[in-house]
Amino acid sequence: MTRPVGADSLQPLYVYDDSERNRLIEEARDLPSIEISSAAAANAVMLGGGYFTPLRGYMNLQDALSVARDMRTVDGRFFPVPIMNLVESTSAIEGARRIALRDPNVEGYPIIAIQQVDAIESVSEEEMALMTERVYRTSDMEHPGVAAFNSHGREAVSGPIQVLNFSYFETDFPDTFRTAVQIRTEIEARDWQRVVAFQTRNPMHLAHEELCHMAMQGLNCDGLVIHMLLGKLKPGDIPADVRDDAIRTMVRLYFPENSAIVTGYGFDMLYAGPREAVLHAYFRQNMGASHFIIGRDHAGVGDYYGAFDAQTIFDDEVPAGALDIEIFRADHTAWSKKLDRVVMMNEAPNHSKEDFVLLSGTRVREMLSQGIPPPKEFSRPEVAEILINYYQSL
């Protein structure tokens, strides 16, 4: 199994010892507390689950700036994006060395973690602009990731954390949410040696399914981990429970037994394109995958990124030797009318656009909302039925 990034073993920040966790929960009740952003809460979940090994907590400003510029902390540790706890005001925790972090995504704002306060630093507009431009490759506030990042406040609270729960992910998605620790354990139990991971924030159409089969066969993998994002998306994206139902149905019907597992992780989508692709590869290595599928416009939104920027960043910007996981570079996949099967479009000579079954997302949503299944060359009928039921319930 692939070793974790920069460490011999995973370093989850969730407090697994029940007595120690209960003691910390009692301590947290008397600590100064602050409500954190959804992004910071998602970072706590990822840190707690070991996905961000070997980070010990939220970055200070100099580390965040260094990571934004060069994907290295000041002391040289590789990490693709700043992991920060940015807040509007720190008046409630002024002078405190240990604080309780309150989860904005759960009713009553319960405490999700305890943080040791190493520093509180004001982030200038110039520093926010630098991080925004380097990570997102744009400063356009119409970009959902840019807008979210710049809405969190300008006070950076840095320091290590102890995670006390996994927010709403563990309770709302008990069959799907898994930590990196749990996924590694399952991969080991299944005796998979070569494992390919597939990222999704959408239901999987036939082309996605076939892409996973292609990767497994081409890489000679023992297993596939379909790893779906369970956190906040942009308006109009399909809810996680619907995606989960659609994907599990597809796997049950169209994948051999013991060849694929469906899991999810608690994180808010950044839509940061190339940088987020590197982050996705980073934490897939930590969960035990040896390979990771990156397709056209991976983690992108709108027209902010080139079709293959999320692949070329591994050649042009990721430091040599920073990651052990290997990237399976995929083109757009679609049904070829000439060949009567799904193919990667760049591997289909003598084809024009008209030779493929291509439907825009807008057209697919229109069909589903009208109760019309997409053609069988685009979507499995069982998956289409689930999505039709969802759209007609709106």
Beta 260-265 vs 223-229: how paired, if at all? Answer: parallel
Contact 130, 95 (CB under 8 A): no
Task: Output helix, strand, coil percentages for the chain, rounded to the nearest 5.
Answer: 35, 20, 45
202 is a catalytic site residue: yes
Instruction: Give the CA diameter of the chain.
Output: 70
Amino acid type, 324: D
Tell me the C-alpha distance between 272 and 279, whole Å: 10
Structure tokens at 99: 């604080």
Nearest residue to 158 via CA among 72, 86, 100:
86
Contact 2, 290 (CB under 8 A): yes
Contact 73, 66 (CB under 8 A): yes
Structure tokens at 18: 């029940």
Which is catalytic among the residues 21, 201, 248, 329? Answer: 201
DSSP reduced 3-state for 39:
helix
Element (H, E) at 125: helix 125-136
Contact 268, 42 (CB under 8 A): yes
Nearest residue to 63 via CA among 139, 5, 119, 114:
119
Which is catalytic among the residues 72, 194, 202, 365? Answer: 202
Cite the active site residues: 201-202
